[in-house]
Amino acid sequence: MNQRSIVAVAAAAVIVLSGAAGCGRDAGTEKETAKAVSDGKASGDITVWAMGTEGEKLAAFAKAFTAENPDAKVSVTAVPWDAAHQKISGAIAAKQTPDVSMIGTTMQGEFAKTGALDPTPADLFGKDAFFPGAWDTTLVNGTSFGVPWYVETRGIYYRTDLAAKAGFPDGPKTWDDLTAMAKAMQSKAGAKWGLNIQPGKTGSWQSVLPFGWSNGAEIAADGRYTFDTPELTEALKYYQSFFTQKIAPDNLPQGALEPAFVRGEIGAFMSGPWHVGILNEQGGKDFAGKYSVVGMPAGKSSTSFIGGSNIAVFKDAKNRDGAWKFLAWLARPEVQVKWYQAAADLPAVQKAWDDPALSGDKILQVFGTQLKSAKAPPSYPTWEQVSAVFDTEVEKVCVGGEDPAAALRNVQQQASAIGTGA
Amino acid sequence: MTRRDRYAKIVLYAVLVAALIVVVGPFVWMLLSSFKSEGEIRSVPPTWWPSHWTLTNYRDLFSRLDFPQYFANSAIVAIIVTLGNLLFCSLIGYALAKLDFPGRKALFLTVLGMLMVPGMVTFVPQFVLISNMGLANSYAGLVLPFLAGPFGVFLMRQFLLAIPDDLIEAARVDGAGEWRIFWRIVLPLCKPALATLGILTFLASWNNFLWPLVVATTDDKYTLPVALALYSIGQNRIYFGLLLAGAVVVVLPVLIVFLALQRHFLRGIATTGLK
């Protein structure tokens, strides 16, 4: 266990203890209802925490909000992504939260469970405006805590030249296609590796679960985790086959993927929208025409992972009304488009995708279509813990050749022991 | 010099050079790579010498971060914490080593016990304490918990034990008060230990990441390591150029401090163990 997770555990312990002593709060035991937000313009100081690029760009971007609401002031504090989890859990433990914070979708369940997040006022936000998978990440026991801000999803990047030689000029559509294309890229198009998918390590669940979902698997049902299903086992077997057949590398060093893809040594890989920028930067101007993206190859369906970030208001917010009005502004379709232009974050609001800035881009449209059906893991408070177990087992399967069924039974056993925490 | 001696020497040097390469190699790569483009840093196999020298990483770093502010925060915190440690640890160490008072042994054992408690365990309670005192997001909150530490007390006590009691007795006979003895006689003798403690504390404070990250709730109170983590590590990718340039900038002052105090440092480590 590294230092950071120890702090997180300690913070969780303090939160639990203060709850036991009667001075804490606990969400999730019963359904919470949100208080209404006052009408009229926002006023007062609104303090916001945001990570990385968002933290860097939001302060200037919010000037448009303060222009509409002259009595309001938005103070943004940038928080490092790497350490956002500790910072927020520490702040919750010590009741030092800002009014608003960006919350990674996978942290949502855990933080909502502490009772520190304010339920979303239904009169301000229509859930149908957002991608359904994104809205689901805000839900804990049926109550929404915060709103989706931006989204991302995963697809298959492939070299169009190699794919044409391999006999799949339009990329793979099904699981069989993907295997056949990747193999042919090695045998006919001279690629060293046909496909790169994550062989374990942190976050590999984001690569494996899309195959599971595309095969009809559900990793949670009736308030419990369900990893040991035939659907997920079959998907993990399929995932493993790329490594046993030596189509995918199982020990690619970090940062080696992009240059190898540019050189044509790797024919395809699975990743999210941020890779467009990296590839264009690494491959130069001409490279943009040499690759394309398709959605998840279909098993029973084509269902990818939806990630990104939510943005939430804390119960201890000094300026609750102002905070929610700021979030409502951020969720306007036209503001979402402008935010995409400022920070390259994909809009979580569906209507924003009709704007030519997004609808004109071929690759973005692939991701946009994928987002409509994309899913997220359940927002159980224990998800970060359980996903770590899952990642470890994925690595045993891909690198160590463990039996997928046994690995998933293992995950299930540990996940049941950990529980959902809800 | 016999033949065998010469061979022994050659072997010794070979081992030392190998060790040096292992230790210094990554630093040299960090320094050189901070002048490379993002693409070259990621290239496989990695290069040593930049094929195109570029200052983009540094330009990026200084234009996107409010550098003077973060640098000042880091310096203020590190300097106050270091001075506090030098003062308080030597005072407590002196009391534990040379003054006779009831409970001295119990107090020393407590200090030893505190050495065994990992900082992570006390982290959150400490933050709750500081914020209940109303010190969250203040310099006081950044500095206060680190003004004295069990390690420093232990180090100073061990060093002070070696100072002859006769010297202190003599001063007392000559009519010097306890304060005067401490300032004029004991402290000057402690220079090597103080230099060691000073460097170690400065390093720890300068590199401290977690505490300033959590205590500073607005970014004008961030220290350098926290600020550098801001933009170099994204949600889904790492900007290596920015990261390396930042690392160079963070390491440089520490390197200067260390080189300046190096002689004292080595003597301090050597003497605390031996006397």
Domain end call among A373, A394, A411? A373
Q: Do A411 and A266 belong together in one domain?
A: no
Q: B41: nearest CA in chain A? A: A255
The answer, for A284 touching chain B at a CB cutoff of 8 Å, is: no
Q: Which two tokens stand for residue B115?
A: 């050495």
DSSP letters, A302-314, are ---BEEEEEEEEB
Distance from CA of B134 to the nearest CA of A (A): 10
Domain-embedded: residue A180: yes
Domain-embedded: residue A282: yes
Cα distances (angstroms) measured from residue B80 to each of B56, B77, B104, B142, B201: 34, 5, 28, 10, 10
- From the list B118, B128, B219, the residue facing A94 with the nearest CB is B128
Cβ pair A52:B231 closer than 8 A: yes
- Maximum alpha-carbon separation in chain B: 73
Residues whose CB is less than 8 angstroms from the CB of residue A62 and which lie 6 or more positions away in sequence, other chains included = A48, A74, A76, A326
Cβ pair A83:B213 closer than 8 A: yes
Cβ pair A309:B235 closer than 8 A: yes
CB-CB neighbors (< 8 A) of B40 in chain A: none
Instruction: Give me the pLDDT at residue B269, please.
Output: 56
Number of independent structural domains in chain A: 3
Helices assigned H by DSSP within B3-55: 3-33, 38-42
Strands (E), A295-414: 306-313, 346-347
Domain-embedded: residue A11: no
Domains located in chain B, CATH noted: 58-274 (1.10.3720.10)
Whole-angstrom distance, CA of residue A219 vs CA of residue B266: 58
Q: Which residue has the tokens 């030519």?
A: A356
Q: What is the pTM of this model?
A: 0.81
Q: A88: nearest CA in chain B? A: B214
Q: Do A204 and A140 belong together in one domain?
A: no
Beta partners for residue A312, in sequence order = A101
Q: Do A122 and A159 belong together in one domain?
A: no
Cβ pair B210:A56 closer than 8 A: no
Instruction: Give me the pLDDT at residue B95, please.
Output: 92
- To test the contact with chain A by mutation, choose from B38, B42, B54 the residue with the greatest count of A C-beta atoms within 10 A, namely B42
ipTM over 0.90: no
Q: Do A318 and A222 belong together in one domain?
A: no
**Total length of chain A:** 422
Domain-embedded: residue A29: no
Q: Which two tokens stand for residue A342?
A: 């400022």
Q: Which domain holds residue A279?
A: 155-196+248-288
Strands (E), A257-326: 268-271, 291-294, 306-313
Task: Name the percent of chain B in helix, strand, coil, to the closest 5.
Answer: 80, 0, 20
Q: Do A255 and A281 belong together in one domain?
A: yes
Q: Do A92 and A105 belong together in one domain?
A: yes
Domain-embedded: residue A330: yes
Whole-angstrom distance, CA of residue A271 vs CA of residue B236: 10
Domain-embedded: residue A361: yes
Q: Which long-range contacts (CB under 8 A, 24 or more apart) does A357-363 make?
A: A362/A292, A363/A273, A363/A276, A363/A292, A363/A293
Q: What is the CATH number of the domain that holds A135?
A: 3.40.190.10
Question: What is the pLDDT tens value at each position of chain B, 275 positions in all?
Answer: 577 888 989 999 999 999 999 999 998 999 999 998 877 787 767 788 888 888 888 888 888 888 888 989 999 999 999 999 999 999 999 999 988 889 999 999 999 998 888 888 888 889 999 989 998 889 999 999 999 989 999 999 999 998 888 888 888 888 888 888 888 888 888 888 888 898 889 989 998 988 999 898 888 899 988 888 887 777 667 788 888 898 898 888 788 877 877 776 666 555 554 44
Q: Do A83 and A148 belong together in one domain?
A: yes
